[in-house]
A and B are shown apart, each in its own frame.
Chain A
Amino acid sequence: MRESLGTTGLILNEPLLWEKGRKGRCGFSLPRRDVESSPLSPELTGEGPDFPDLSEVDVVRHYTRLSQWNFGVDTGMYPLGSCTMKYSPKSNERQASLPGFSGAHPLLPASLSQGVLRLMFELEQYLAEITGMDATTLQPAAGAHGELTGMLLIHAYHKSKGVLRSKIIVPDTAHGTNPASAALCGYRPVPVKSNEQGILPVEAIAEVMDEETAGIMVTNPNTLGLFEENIQEIAEIVHAKGGLVYCDGANMNAVMGIVQMGKTGIDIIHLNLHKTFSTPHGGGGPGSGPVCVKKHLEPFLPVPRVVVENGKYALSENYPQSVGKLQAFHGNVGVIIKAYCYIRSMGPKNLKKASQLAVLNANYIKEMLKGTLDLPYDRPCMHECVFSDKHQRPAKVLTLDMAKRLMDYGFHPPTVYFPLVVQGAIMIEPTETESKEDLDQFIEAFKAIANEAKENPGLLHEAPKKCKVKRLDEVTAARKPCLAG
């Protein structure tokens, strides 16, 4: 075996911000005062916040040290399932920080914002083309926000027909946020089980679909990494009873240029620009969750919408049936710009290639590890594959132990214990930006860990050993929360 990636190097301890500093320091070049001081009643002024005073060097060292305790895609392979941790191109960061974009006020007259409006208009069209849908809104701030938008669209659609429905079908292979998004719109989620092949059986949908049901939320490809082969028939059943089909498109990275999602019978799909379209995940956000719809739902999309009038781009509020606004302004434009740049750099051929290679990488890992780990659904997968800890459980080694041990080998663990349909799930999504050598090293590491599980399980129970901290006491953290210092 090659030398393991994981090693230890010198990283430095660093106290909390307010444990450092001296009163009177400042890390900010205070602007020149060119006006007189103007009095403000002491009744209105407070004492000012109790912040530590730090120099610029204090601040820069503090956050540089903190950053070194973190692991990102730029550090190494980050195969977190359903999160699409692909490489984020640096060129896109540069473009989004161009002064014309980063400095733009959102309420400027349209005549002074043509560049960004054009970019948004074009991206809406690109996303509609990639999904095979008719219209797009870029306003939702994240994937779950896109789901909420989708539920609001369904609600508005039924309301326009004069009937309000009370339920929505959510399969067990859907993303975890789906039921909560539906509940926010007053819908009661109706659970449906996937079959032994890991996909939705037509009959199960037919059984629960009725005229009280607003529609279905399908994650496709689903969280087992499988394509919902029966999606067209399912859509027909839902439509026949007047319902709508919402597709959670978080896993779109598997099918760009391959599947025309619009042809699968869906009415609405959300995308995660921070997954499929390479924008960085930022330690948990900001993301962006555009929603694409078929023609019959376009009147309900959030406002304002970007339109073209006499060859000029403008923002229009003239959509009386719109669900309204999802955030104060026009969406996470800083993120949207990066996704636009990604699509422009890739072009149609490379987008398709990216999906093909993402699926190739996942199937390669599946084939190479299936003797080592239990593979509950042994079928061709899409962008991710799901194993379990069944083979290791007898030696009292669980998914969590293997995940933690992977850190010592220099890899970020996969998604664990999700989806819930697989006990002790290990959900691996390598993405297309990992090379064969990287995958081979990951596979070797996992095999070595499985071997350790047999021969020296203590190594796994004590893992990780090479990180800044050892396993943390999450129980006490929740029982006696300390949320601020």
Chain B
Amino acid sequence: MDRRRIVLPLLAVACCFVPLLTSNEYYVHSVLAKVCVYTIVIAGLDLVVGYSGDVSVGHAGLFAAGAYTTAILMWKLHLPFPLAALAGIAMGALFGLLLGVPALRLRGPYLAVATIAFGLIVQTFVNEAVSLTNGSQGIRAIPPLRYGPIDFEGNHFYYLVYPLMVLSLLAVHRLAVSYWGRAFAALKENAVAAECSGISRYRYKLGAFILSAAFAGLGGALFVHIDKYIGPPTFSEQLSILFLIALIFGGVRSIAGNIIGTFLVIVLPDVFNAVADYQLMIFGGLLLFTLYFVPQGIAGVLQAATRWMLRGRAGLRGRALPHREPHREPMPAGAGNGVPAAPGGNGVDAIATRTLAGLDPAGRGAGLLTTHDLTIAFGGLVAVNKLDLEIRAGQVHALIGPNGSGKSTTVNLLSGIYRPTGGSIRFAGRELERASPHLISRLGVARTFQNVALFGEMTVLENVLVGLHHTFKGGLLPVLLGTRQARREEREARRRAEALLAFVGLGDLGAERARSLPYGKQRLLEIARALAQDPAVILLDEPAAGLTSGEIAAVDTLIDALRARGIGILLIEHHMDLVMAVSDEVTVLDFGQRIAQGKPEEVQRDERVISAYLGTTVHQGAAAADA
């Protein structure tokens, strides 16, 4: 790993001097410089396709926006290149915003459709607005890039675009290993769980798209100087598809992949001149082949090959190629025997109890989350019927009932996954019926899931870090620039995550892959992730399901610890022993309605409750048992 940190930057700097090796203008300028420019676009596209998981078939349009803005400003207003280029980037980003805002709200192929249409509109506009763009003639009068002694013409253009390419790849890399990368990975694995952990799918996807549009704008601005001419035919749907092919073929989420893919897509048509007529077919076939058989792309294949060749060589990791992955730092030793630490740990107080404005902070028993007449109907099915519930600070409120009585639906309503068809939900003075899950998490209501919804491919620590997203106040720019603030926030978050893991008893398991944990520990991890969100209320959805009695005891202890810290808990459970032992108050649901409420012992003896669980022949059954 350390070796990589030295070799790669050296290699990057070395490549800067490639033009000195040859004076072949064609090769250096037409090929290498073009590769650099296109790679910038493709690195940005990787953000959308590789990380965010969307498809944009219109990046040629964004590319065109940057190119034409720059060209027009340089040609008509004689603006210097840096300014014109900045305008090109801004134009790209602007269109990214205009496209992304409507198209990313819903899940589905909407972005693909919107970007295809956009690409078309841009081509139309460029052809029609002759006074601005010179129409189908294109723009030829591009001033040279000369600033006194500095000359970026011909082969020297490489010296401008190469560093920019490196910076772009570095920026995407920084993003990928930061909390942004984690957010995307989480959204991909389990979008619902990610949203309930405080990650706004919309915001992250929009951010990625706008950034990629800015990159495309930059690429366009630079592209203007490759041939010193731009014209409408270049910026066709075909170019958008070419970008996609380069990305997929090279390998998504990989620096080497971005470069290799771009290189192949630019060089191959020239090499295989004979089959130029079949170019599209070959590319189409390659795309299909890659999608199904080599999804990691060429970079992935090379990586596997390198790993295979280096296997058995002691001390060498198989990762020879730059690959964007979050840092895996060695974990400090900590409490990991499965028993949660006693409350009141030293150092960082991982469970920061939220003080809610307008609420008495010391008030144990203060009502935090209340519902009134909460109702949801799916067509003719009333799943939850006029439910009144109150969760108080420092108290455990259990919600029990037979299968299908509406318990999980209630939790989904409270966490914002479903919109109620009637009634209200109040928390900290706000009405939550229309609130999105990530907003509810940010406000202070966290939850766990009945079927553990972890991000299996991420490490244990990363799962908790996802819950800590609300602590990253910096935003996109500090991450891209690698500022001190960004690094500090990441360090702080890791410290808190480690403390949280220690608190739930998973202290030295941080580096493990989440899916490799035994079931009981997975549940504890989910609780740690919920705690990371700084909640005032936690909704636990069947935390004891599938656990051994030892593991249930650990959950029991944990619930006590949370209660001691003033957190209000809603507990959905079937394990009656746990419910009786730990709850302050119990509500019994049947058929979506509350049929009993009170102290555990009272509810346990309630006739209606017994009947709801067993069916009305309970008396006969009990009588027979006694016989």
**B is bound to A:** no
- Chain A residues with CB under 8 Å of chain B are none
